């Protein structure tokens, strides 16, 4: 049975103080129609600005996830988004009368309690993205590794190891969002080390932070003079900072491993930015918002690739993305100048692999050369260019109205001849993303795994009407 999309039945309101900005803010959750997704609306402006909660609108990662549109920002959205996604809500409008949602107690539980009995099913089915291939993000320098592996439902296994006796190594696993989210993860509070608190204070952040909405952990030994100085700087009362180790203010953890559980909460919030629920098992070590966002960017590329394959593939047994008929729908080239027979791989905006079967019946072999047929080098470059054109056409909106022209070629090299019977495989990589209609690509053509040609290309995308 197909799962239905979900929204809320009626408006729900909550207010408080923003963690970093210290602003007083009121947040109103409102129902949204099927297919709308999740979005914020800043209502405190002369003209309200709507910001979809998707990766395309991520502005920066500075102790939280910040969205922006046309210069308008919303800070620290992850706990609100975690509540919405943790409750399996697909469509909702979040009106906000300030630049940051209220931090509440530093977790998602207040948002969850506000929404959990206000959810209603809609008519259209929920659209999941199911991870089919392992996706890995690594930062070797920081020891970060995030892996998404295929799974029948959403799962998370998270590990952190801090060089701090108050925390040490922590581990948690979420196996069932419906059963575990509300009681085991939504109540977990944001946390940081005392050194980070000092740095954030110096940077003009955490204006709304307190021991009521954050767990602060001592990460170094302090002598009495240092302790008194920091207590005065942060506006804390005497005795709030422990002498050697532990949590400031003698605050107790809600769970023995609350910090790593809060990492899972942040991950759930950040994964919301994919724009659709995902089925995968996420294996995470020492992550944070910046790493989560990079993983979401990789997932978005996988979603785009998946959508293209679903659009063009005829059968699950086929090992290519486009056949020649699909290619002719996207490129204007025809015999004898259509030089790509199949598109084998496609990652929009990143990479494409094309195939050309070189037969003795090619028209150009009549004159190049009689008795010793060799494919002209310029046509090998043209075949790479057409593969690059397919990459570009699947990286833009409404490709049927566009045409690709190559405006420059650099560093052309030929390594071996191409003759009848060869299979020419062209690998194209985007080296400079499409901007203002222009991009750069690098192409390498292979036969039997050996390089036969390579080139760097500059291409331009224009409206078809511009060719008239």
**β-strand pairing of 65-69 with 58-61:** antiparallel
**Cα–Cα dist 15/447, whole Å:** 64
Torsion angle defined by CA atoms of residues 320, 326, 332 and 338, in that order, rounded to the nearest 10 degrees: 40
Q: Residue 75: phi, psi to the nearest 5?
A: -90, 150
Nearest to 379 by CA among 428, 344, 426: 426
Contact predicate 38/111, CB 8 Å: no
Structure tokens at 110: 């207040």
CA–CA gap between residue 427 and residue 442 (Å, rounded): 8
Q: 414 with 453: CB under 8 angstroms?
A: yes
Distance between CA 208 and CA 201 in Å, rounded? 11
Q: At what angle do helices 78-86 and 258-271 cross, to 10 degrees?
A: 80
The structure tokens listed for 408 are: 């420059």
Going by C-beta distance under 8 Å and a sequence separation of 6 or more, which residues neighbour residue 94? 27, 28, 29, 30, 38, 39, 40, 41, 53, 80, 84, 101
Return d(Cα 322, Cα 468) in angstroms, integer.
Answer: 28
Question: How many residues in the chain?
Answer: 468
- Distinct helix (H) and strand (E) counts, the chain: 9, 25
DSSP 374-427: ---HHHHHHHHHHHHHHHHHTTSS-GGGEEEEEEEEEEEEE-S---TT-EEEEE
Residues contacting residue 430 through CB under 8 Å, at least 6 positions apart: 349, 350, 351, 391, 395, 439, 440, 441
**Catalytic position from the list 36, 306, 333, 368:** 368
**DSSP-based three-state secondary structure for 200:** helix
Q: Which of 289, 292, 306, 427 is catalytic?
A: 289
- Cβ(379)–Cβ(339) below 8 Å: yes
79 is catalytic: no
List the one residue out of 428, 386, 381 whose CA is nearest residue 404: 386
Q: What Å distances lie between residue 124 and 33, 90, 340, CA to CA?
A: 10, 11, 39
Selection from 439, 444, 413 nearest residue 428 by Cα:
444
333 belongs to the catalytic site:
no
Phi first, then psi: give them for residue 279, nearest 5 degrees.
Answer: -110, 115
Distance, CA of 227 to CA of 42 (rounded, Å): 41
Tokens of 94: 């979040």
Residues catalogued as catalytic: 289, 368
């Amino acid at each position: 049975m197909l799962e239905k999309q979900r929204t809320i039945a009626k408006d729900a309101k909550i207010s408080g103080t923003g963690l970093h900005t210290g602003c007083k803010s009121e947040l109103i959750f409102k129902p949204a129609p099927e297919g709308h997704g999740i979005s914020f609306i800043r209502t405190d402006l002369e003209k309200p600005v709507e910001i979809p909660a998707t990766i395309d609108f991520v502005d920066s990662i500075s102790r939280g996830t910040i969205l922006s549109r046309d210069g308008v920002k919303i800070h620290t959205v992850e706990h609100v988004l975690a509540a919405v996604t943790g409750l399996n809500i697909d469509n909702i409008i979040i009106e906000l009368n300030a630049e940051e949602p209220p931090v509440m107690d530093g977790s998602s539980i207040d948002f969850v309690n506000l929404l959990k009995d206000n959810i209603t099913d809609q008519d259209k089915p929920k659209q999941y993205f199911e991870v089919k291939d392992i996706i890995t993000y690594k930062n070797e320098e920081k020891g970060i590794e995030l892996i998404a592996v295929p799974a029948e439902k959403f799962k998370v296994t998270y590990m952190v190891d801090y060089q701090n006796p108050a925390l040490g190594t922590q581990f948690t696993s979420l196996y069932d969002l419906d059963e575990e989210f509300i009681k085991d993860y939504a109540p977990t509070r944001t946390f940081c080390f005392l050194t980070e608190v000092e740095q954030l204070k110096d940077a003009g952040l955490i204006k709304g932070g307190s021991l009521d909405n954050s767990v602060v952990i001592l990460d170094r030994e302090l002598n009495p003079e240092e302790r008194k100085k920091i207590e005065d700087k942060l506006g804390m009362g005497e005795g709030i900072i422990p002498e050697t180790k532990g949590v400031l203010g003698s605050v107790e953890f809600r769970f023995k491993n609350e910090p790593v559980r809060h990492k899972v909460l942040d991950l759930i919030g950040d994964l919301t930015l994919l724009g659709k629920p995902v089925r995968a098992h996420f294996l995470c070590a020492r992550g944070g918002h910046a790493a989560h966002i990079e993983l979401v960017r990789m997932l978005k590329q996988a979603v785009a690739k998946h959508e293209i394959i679903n659009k063009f593939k005829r059968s699950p047994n086929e090992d290519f993305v486009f056949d020649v008929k699909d290619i002719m729908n996207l490129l204007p080239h025809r015999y004898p100048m259509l030089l790509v027979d199949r598109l084998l791989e496609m990652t929009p905006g990143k990479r494409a692999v094309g195939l050309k079967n070189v037969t003795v019946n090619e028209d150009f072999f009549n004159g190049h050369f009689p008795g010793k047929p060799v494919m002209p080098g310029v046509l090998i470059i043209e075949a790479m260019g057409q593969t690059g054109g397919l990459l570009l056409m699947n990286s833009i909106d409404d490709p049927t109205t566009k045409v690709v022209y190559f405006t420059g070629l650099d560093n052309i090299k030929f390594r071996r001849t191409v003759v009848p019977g060869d299979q020419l495989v062209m690998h194209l990589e985007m080296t400079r993303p499409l901007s203002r209609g222009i991009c750069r690509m690098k192409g390498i053509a292979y036969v039997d795994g050996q390089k036969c040609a390579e080139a760097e290309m500059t291409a331009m995308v224009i409206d078809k009407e511009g060719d008239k």
